[in-house]
């Protein structure tokens, strides 16, 4: 393997580590439609437990793919949206979704 390929392969492996986790693609897909509250995400993906949704949202926020905004109304709301980085990843995943619709 050439030395030039090592950094590229490391980045490819890293992105597959992120998007390969269960539920990540669905969360990104739903957020491509726009900002959602935690409860909305949970209602749209009902098989995803609240604990796992919370865990995945934290991971995606740490990766810089989503942003979390706390709205101090009563009751307090938390909203999630894709960052520019997350939006670009979501766009990159659209051909995979098209492939799935065609072949699965």
CATH of the domain at 33: 1.10.10.10
Name the band, by pLDDT with cuts 50, 70 and 90, for residue 42: very high
Q: Flag whether pLDDT at 9 surpasses 70.
A: yes
| Count of structural domains within the chain | 1
- Residue 2 in domain: no
Is residue 21 situated within a structural domain?
A: yes
In a domain, 13, yes or no: yes
pLDDT tens digits, one per residue of 80-91: 999 999 999 999
- Determine the average pLDDT of the residues in 22-32: 97
14 within a domain of the structure (yes/no): yes
The answer to whether residue 88 is domain-embedded is yes
Q: Which domain holds residue 40?
A: 7-103
How many C-beta neighbours within 10 Å does residue 42 have? 15
Structural domain includes residue 1: no
HSE, side-chain direction, 13 A CA sphere, residue 93: 20
């Amino acid at each position: 393997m050439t030395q030039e390929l090592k950094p590229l392969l490391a980045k490819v492996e890293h992105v597959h580590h992120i998007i390969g986790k269960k539920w990540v693609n669905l969360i990104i897909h739903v957020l491509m439609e726009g900002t959602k509250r935690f409860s909305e995400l949970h209602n749209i993906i009902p098989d995803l437990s609240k604990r796992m949704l919370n865990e995945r949202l934290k991971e995606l926020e740490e990766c810089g793919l989503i942003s979390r905004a706390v709205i101090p109304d009563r009751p307090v709301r938390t909203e999630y949206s894709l960052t520019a980085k997350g939006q670009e990843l979501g766009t990159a995943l659209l051909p995979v979704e098209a492939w799935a619709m065609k072949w699965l």
